[in-house]
Structure 1
Amino acid sequence: MSAARSALLPDTALSDTRALAEQLSAQLSPSALQWLSGYLAGAAAHKRPLDADSSASDSLPVTSTATVLYGSQTGNAKRAAEQLAQRLGAEGVAVNLHRTDAYPVRQLKQETQLYVVISTQGEGEPPDDARAFMDFLMSRRAPKLPELRYAVLALGDSSYPDFCVIGRRIDARLSELGATAMHPRGEADVDIETVAEPWLDAVLAQARQQTGAAQTTPLASVTPLRTATPSRHSRERPFAAEVLGNQRISGRDSLSEVRHIELSLEGSGLAYAPGDAIGVWPRQSPALVEAVLQGTGLDGDTQVEHKGERLALADWLGQRRELTRLTRPLLAAQAERGDHAALKQMLGPDQRDALARTLDEWQLLDLLQHHPAEWDAPALVAALRPLAPRMYSIASSPLMHEDEAHLTVAHLQRGHGAAARWGVASRFLSQVEEGAQVPVFIESNERFRLPADDGRDIIMIGPGTGVAPFRAFVQQRQLTAARGRQWLFFGHRHRRDDFLYQNEWLAAHQAGALKLDVAFSRDQTDKLYVQQRMSEHGAALYDWIENGAHVYVCGDALRMARDVHATLLAIAQRHGSKSTEDAHAWLDALAADGRYARDVY
């Protein structure tokens, strides 16, 4: 601060201002702080300077107000939205940042500048926190929006057929309601930055032009306040976590190999809460890399330069590229290079089911074997999607296991010998030895948190490895002497080989700290699943929920989570005497209140 400015702001005022800022930073959430930083930047642009020469204020830009909405299942859309809000604030735009389930939809008709960052999940579904917003926007209740200017950044995964479909639907619906697009929709794959960064630069250039900031002295960059010193490690700068233990916890006769892995976070500065996830940067199996090189006839020692980086082809394939997930763009490239009519037909609009099966069941090796084509090394590197980290729910409480994070990992594998196919991260983690290092970071999951009131009951539904976060929940509530009851529904194939963490659950149950219901689908003639156990106890489940219990679901999104959702609706209709419409409204209200949370994948 200049001497002239300091003279006009007494030391006591500076002290009071600093104290107020510190108090706010300690009390507000990161999202609220992001909004506040943008708001203050906009307010500062409107203020007349405090010095005697007030004429300079006439040249300051006129600011606008923008709303940034995000819907995020894994945190990617949230990060992109926060970055957008911060950078808009630095351009002198007052910003309101909202998660979609916290946005008052009645405000939509008053908006004039709206940015939407939204992901698509599974088979064309919105993230959980955006379901109610999507229902409103697509309904007859949505208002006409002739004054609204908007931009959409859609996030998705091109290994699914409905790539970015939620962003496309929002874009089309806003246009249908009379709004005007400020910038073409961005569609980002899992290598988000490739699309997101140019899109952000473009919309920020428009914001700068609108506020007139390009013709004036730029405002100081706004840095959001934080409640604590952040770790120096992140998704872009992962921590090399030492493996403390790697133990198989499924029986030797189990059809699935499930491993309990313990990682050291000592010295990392990384902190997590129960419900959060660990992001793991895997490496491809050397055997798979060699098989791909043989399948393409390429030399792994060939040097390839791509986007300013030069590596041997084998290193690109082993460390930087997806080999176990196919994408629609890759199928299209293979079809063109090999002139494969069957592949081209599969990409047609009437072949969605066949495309979905191929993307789900095939890997790069299958594509190379069934539909060969000529590739050169640079073209192959450019066509393959960048390798992305994999997320695993943390299966430990930081109170019980200080400076550690535990994972529950199912080794995804099908076939044997030369026909064997596996998941990249589960293969990597299943084979990592004690003492080795794994690149990791923490992925916060604010929507999957224990109740702030420890007197609330919790209902946990987690078949298979979906039980992982509930191990953290039970440990945390044990050490904090939580007063609320706990009810776990767990399911798998066989009790003898697949009862993950059996001793821990039984000990908690016998101590009266855990109500436990299990379903082992293959231990009887008729298959039995957790949703059937839920139906059997429907009256008690409904009573728990009506008396304030929080419901958590973790696991497979495409089948289990849908079946559990349908079961909860049926329970509300049967034991709450609700109509179909009222049951849906009841469950939506639970979700909006944070009492129905899902961590599904």
Structure 2
Amino acid sequence: MHLLFGSQTGQAKSIADGIYSVAIEKEISCKVACFDSLQSLCEIDVAFVVMSTTGDGDIPDSCLKFFRKLRKEPNGCLSKLKFGMLALGDTNYTNFCGGGKAVDALLLSKGATHIFDTILADDATGQEDDVERFTTKIWDYVSSHKAENEQNGFVSGVERVKISETRNTEDAILSLFDQSFSYSCGETRPSKNENAFVIPNDLKLPAKAKTSLALKFYHLPSQPQGDNVYFGMASEIKYLKLSKITRLSGDVSSKTSLLIEVEGTFDYQPGDSFSTVLPNDSSIVNLLLNRLKVAHLADVPVERSVLTGSSKSDSSCNFIPRISTLRYIFSNCVDIASMPFKKVFFRLLAGYCFNDDEFKQLLRISSRQGAEEYNQLREKMLTLLDVLNMFPSCDPPVERLLENLPILLPRPYSFASSPLDDDGKFSFVFNVVNIPEDETRLARKGVATGWFEKHMEDVNHEIREIRIPAFLRSNTSFRMPDDPRIPLILIGPGTGVAPFVGFLRHRRQLKKKDSSIVFGSVHLLFGCRTESNDFLFKDELKQFEKDGFLTELLCCFSREENSKFKYVQDTLRADAKKFGGLLFEKNAEVYICGDALNMAKDVNEALISVIEESQGLSNIEARSVMVRLRSEPKRVKEDVWT
């Protein structure tokens, strides 16, 4: 059978790789691949698909080329294909599982048929149960063909094979170091075997995490380290110098909004974004190394390998350099600062708890019966260190943690500049994330936003040169229309205004190059807490309005009593006929940027109200119109985040 995935950040790939490992253990011939590595689907009989969603309900970048090609194929070309799909999404975003739904519809339109109905997994509530349901349906399908499978050796692409061991033994591993320099792990690290507590019979638990990773430490003065591997890069990595960091918010603002200027640029358009991968907070890394009792090994060179007999391939942990140090790995390779931990992770921790009450508590969190406790932990925004501190007797080996921790993901930011600017720089804006201390967690800042704030003095006073690794992420669905005469409705409260500043700067540059160019109207809806402390780009936006690049600047301030409106959605509802006229008489395009959790949903409902009132439609009819406006060609576009 084929396991196919479309992944933007690596999550769909991780799920597909996990299913692949189980398939090998079950002696089922299986191929796992990203869609863009395929030439065609026409010769595949059975496929199970894991598909993520990116941007405004879009198909991941890693699959675009393949599906553009498939759309051109004749209907019926996939008539022999049977497939089952797991679509990954987040109900905090408007187009929930949009990428998976689009692929599902495309495959069906080309003649493929369902093995079972597509499963929609919601990251807002945890995807564990949905992933388990998906894998159960796969094995049910394989099992239902068992008799014919055993008779013929294969059924509809599901083949029985005999697994033979081909990996080298530990003694035969090709090491970059002389084995005589190897540490004696028994002397430096106490043996950490699982506890022998009895598992309660009434809990339905996930399968235990598979063991695959081995670490070998060395007595060497140097610390060789490899390059990390980043998933979903749309361009080569550039190491760009930070030029200036400016605080945009006022001193008494509840938020710290920073404008970052960077020397160097990409081949980008307004509406595009880039990503950077920055290290975890060094103080948290140090505390974690101490908690794991490996601080004395933190800077000792370590070689990673895959254990003999493991069903996982070496590529399953290739985001960790083959030769590195624990400090480098925990700083640059794995995510220790968020709470995306799967239930199987808590099942793993339970095995290394040496207090019976903590053991049972972790087992319950990992069980189906403990869904409420698990979701409560997710909501607390805990770090790995916080979780370990909640269970003092938990003492897991560092290898077992590393093979179950998620990769440290790139952080995306929208350009707030124009590629036509002649200063050889670009800029972007964000709020520093502050997570306060409470009874279950230590205080901390966002990984990337805190890192930038920490280096503000170094950059502005030129104490030392600071560079960041960055690569382009093309979000073509959020670019301005090719026809500059099309009216724009831009909705960007807070730092969501950043890409729209880039839009307006770009139009100013275009006008300088060609004074005859004609632009359609631009209506910008901006909101923040207070005008005096939180109005980002205030002077520049007012100047854009004065110069005619901005037709109307509509502002609302949620913490000011004399503000006519509190939120941007109130502005939309208050002038439904005007905005409805722009949408349906002038064919305006709507751009929404900012918070997905509340703002984007509220704006979506306000736009539906605008459609109802301006077009005289029922709520159901207006929602149907909204779906069309969000479909290709999109006239309502989002760049939102949680």
Task: Please give the range of the TM-score, normalised by the shorter of the 2 chains.
Answer: 0.5 to 0.7
Q: 433, 442, 445: which one pairs with 1:422?
A: 445
Q: Which residue of the partner structure matches residue 567 of structure 1?
A: 606
Structure 2 residue ranges without an equivalent (≥5): 1-34, 142-154, 160-231, 306-320, 460-464, 512-517
RMSD, aligned CA:
4.5
Further displaced range: 577-586 or 273-282 = 577-586
Report which of the two has the higher share of helix. 1
Change in Cα spacing, 1:234 to 1:290, as seen in structure 2 (3 Å) is same
Change in Cα spacing, 1:81 to 1:340, as seen in structure 2 (3 Å) is same
Tell me the amino acid that sits aligned with residue 505 of structure 2.
Answer: Q
Q: Which residue of the partner structure matches residue 530 of structure 1?
A: 568
Distance apart, 1:288 and its partner CA = 1.4
Q: Which residue of the partner structure matches residue 299 of structure 2?
A: 301
Matched, 1:120 2:88: yes
Tell me the amino acid that sits aligned with residue 386 of structure 2.
Answer: D
Q: Which residue of the partner structure matches residue 425 of structure 2?
A: 404
Q: Map of 1:99-498 to 2, 5 A cutoff?
A: 107=75, 111-113=79-81, 120-123=88-91, 129-130=98-99, 133=102, 148=113, 161-162=126-127, 234=233, 237-265=236-264, 270-299=266-295, 300-307=298-305, 309-326=322-339, 327-328=341-342, 329-338=344-353, 339-349=358-368, 352=371, 354-360=373-379, 361-372=381-392, 373-400=394-421, 403-415=424-436, 419-432=442-455, 433-434=458-459, 435-481=465-511, 482-498=518-534
In 2, Cα distance between the equivalents of 1:586 and 1:148?
29
Distance apart, 1:524 and its partner CA = 2.6
Tell me the amino acid that sits aligned with residue 589 of structure 1.
Answer: R
Tell me the amino acid that sits aligned with residue 445 of structure 2.
Answer: W
TM-score, normalization by structure 1: 0.68
Identity rate, percent = 22
Further displaced range: 321-330 or 538-547 = 321-330
Distance apart, 1:578 and its partner CA = 1.2
Q: 73, 81, 85: which one pairs with 2:63?
A: 81
Distance apart, 1:405 and its partner CA = 2.2
Query: What secondary structure sits across from 1:440 in the alignment?
Result: strand
Change in Cα spacing, 1:416 to 1:356, as seen in structure 2 (3 Å) is closer
Tell me the amino acid that sits aligned with residue 127 of structure 2.
Answer: D
Distance apart, 1:282 and its partner CA = 0.8
Tell me the amino acid that sits aligned with residue 516 of structure 1.
Answer: L
Q: Which residue of the partner structure matches residue 545 of structure 1?
A: 583
Q: 626, 637, 640: which one pairs with 1:587?
A: 626
Tell me the amino acid that sits aligned with residue 243 of structure 1.
Answer: L
Query: What secondary structure sits across from 2:352 in the alignment?
Result: helix
Tell me the amino acid that sits aligned with residue 54 of structure 2.
Answer: Q
In 2, Cα distance between the equivalents of 1:167 and 1:401?
53
Q: 35, 59, 69: which one pairs with 1:97?
A: 69
Q: Deviations over 1:88-136 (max 9, x none)?
A: xxxxxxx8636xxxx6999589744488998633348655754874897
Structure 1 residue ranges without an equivalent (≥5): 1-33, 43-61, 86-94, 185-232
In 2, Cα distance between the equivalents of 1:424 and 1:256?
16
In 2, Cα distance between the equivalents of 1:451 and 1:556?
23
Change in Cα spacing, 1:467 to 1:128, as seen in structure 2 (3 Å) is farther
Change in Cα spacing, 1:157 to 1:565, as seen in structure 2 (3 Å) is closer
In 1, Cα distance between the equivalents of 2:271 and 2:431?
19
TM-score, normalization by structure 2: 0.64
CA contact (8 A) 1:81 1:117 kept: no
Change in Cα spacing, 1:384 to 1:234, as seen in structure 2 (3 Å) is closer
The size of the alignment, in residue pairs, is: 476
Change in Cα spacing, 1:569 to 1:409, as seen in structure 2 (3 Å) is same
In 1, Cα distance between the equivalents of 2:630 and 2:395?
50
Distance apart, 1:479 and its partner CA = 2.3
Further displaced range: 321-330 or 500-509 = 321-330
Distance apart, 1:492 and its partner CA = 1.8
In 1, Cα distance between the equivalents of 2:235 and 2:280?
19
In 1, Cα distance between the equivalents of 2:409 and 2:119?
18
Query: What secondary structure sits across from 1:480 in the alignment?
Result: helix
Change in Cα spacing, 1:265 to 1:153, as seen in structure 2 (3 Å) is farther
Distance apart, 1:169 and its partner CA = 7.8
Distance apart, 1:280 and its partner CA = 0.5
